[in-house]
Amino acid sequence: MNKLKVAIALGSTCSGCDVAILDLNEKILNLVEVADIVYWPTAMDFKIKDLEAFKSGDIDVGIYHGTVRTSTHEHTAHLLRERSKAVLSFGACAYFGGIPGLCNLSTKNEVFRTVYQDTASTVNPDFVTPQTEVKVGKFDLTLPELKDEGKALRDVIDVDYYLPGCPPTVMLREKLIPILKLVQGGELPPKGTVIASDKTLCDECEMKKENKSISKIVRTHEMIPTPGICLLEQGLICMGPATRGGCGTPCIKALVPCRGCMGPTAEVKDQGAKMISAIASILGVSEEKDLSAEDVAKLIDGIKDPVGTFYRFTLPVALINKKVGVK
């Protein structure tokens, strides 16, 4: 059987997804059994010209990780789509925008202002910011354009398959190899397949759930959670009810509440809204009749950073997904 040609391209990323692929450890041998890596700049010396050199459909599976933020990322994404038979969106950034997608909380100009002027270690009295074209002495230099917003891959190109997580945990990554074997045999999974569970994280979480009401929100540094008991019931915001399962709950097993890097389940459009709904149905519910409007406001004030908590990984695909600047 012919080996698959697999390309791994990237956008705005920490490259933790590249490391996640390498972290297959000895199972990477199973990967190279079915696939030849024909493009992977993080791990090998490939240039964008190498990706450009492929003909349409030359690549069997194009894997893309990272948020789409610059003109280069857009070019890479379109190129990968055109050259690949199937495109797999790998990790939270490509799927939902991820943590770099939190850039959508500010306008580009506000980001430039902070990064290139206001930060304590910056000395830049003329407020010089990156330009797409600049002349330095007699030399013409160019940079990619930084876009006004970070985007999920599927909002830029047509995507066939998804593998969520930040980074995808080992039990998810290992599922990739049998799927590639199917593709090698000409058996493509249905378009839109998400390589993860279809249920919520709470469905697979082993913590004991008993109370349907919590009396207040507790911040993570304010308590040492009791092992074995649902973290949300202990007052910690845990994104489990609004998050897709399949990761194996490594954070929760370490008593660290979920932040939702697997994104929502298929039937949920907006992960943050789902979580707000989940919190609203348990916070202060048992004593609800005795609470004044002021008490309720105080309870809600216990949530210190709603947007950064509920939309930690999914802001660019949320219903309200970016700050629009005042001209």
Per CB under 8 A, residues contacting another protein are 12-19, 41-48, 69-70, 72-73, 98-100, 102-103, 105-106, 110-111, 114-115, 119, 130, 136-139, 141, 143-144, 146, 166-167, 219-221, 256, 259, 304-305, 308-309, 312
Tell me how far, at minimum, the Cβ of 286 lies from another protein, in Å: 26
The DSSP bridge partners found for residue 63 are: 8, 88
Tell me how far, at minimum, the Cβ of 223 lies from another protein, in Å: 11
Tell me how far, at minimum, the Cβ of 319 lies from another protein, in Å: 19
Tell me how far, at minimum, the Cβ of 31 lies from another protein, in Å: 19
What backbone torsions phi and psi does residue 240 show, to the nearest 5 degrees?
-45, -50
Nearer to another protein, 69 or 160 (CB): 69
Nearer to another protein, 33 or 305 (CB): 305
Tell me how far, at minimum, the Cβ of 260 lies from another protein, in Å: 11
Distance CA 211, CA 233 (A): 6
Tell me how far, at minimum, the Cβ of 217 lies from another protein, in Å: 11
Assign residue 106 a region (left: φ > 0; alpha: ψ between -120 and 50; beta: otherwise): beta
Q: Which two tokens stand for residue 71?
A: 């003109």
Nearer to another protein, 97 or 284 (CB): 97
Rg, C-alpha atoms of the chain: 22
Nearer to another protein, 93 or 278 (CB): 93
Tell me how far, at minimum, the Cβ of 21 lies from another protein, in Å: 11
Nearer to another protein, 46 or 282 (CB): 46
Distance CA 243, CA 200 (A): 5
Distance CA 289, CA 322 (A): 37
Residues 6+ apart with CB under 8 A from 143: 130, 131, 132, 133, 134
Residues 6+ apart with CB under 8 A from 242: 200, 260, 264, 268, 271, 272, 274, 275, 278, 310
Nearer to another protein, 115 or 296 (CB): 115
**Which among 173, 158, 241, 175 is positioned nearest to 207, based on CA atoms?**
241
Nearer to another protein, 137 or 228 (CB): 137
Nearer to another protein, 146 or 194 (CB): 146
The amino acid at residue 136 is V
The full DSSP string for 141-188 is EE-PPEEEEEE-GGGTS---EEE-SSSPPHHHHHHHHHHHHHHHTT-P
Distance CA 102, CA 290 (A): 38
Tell me how far, at minimum, the Cβ of 178 lies from another protein, in Å: 25
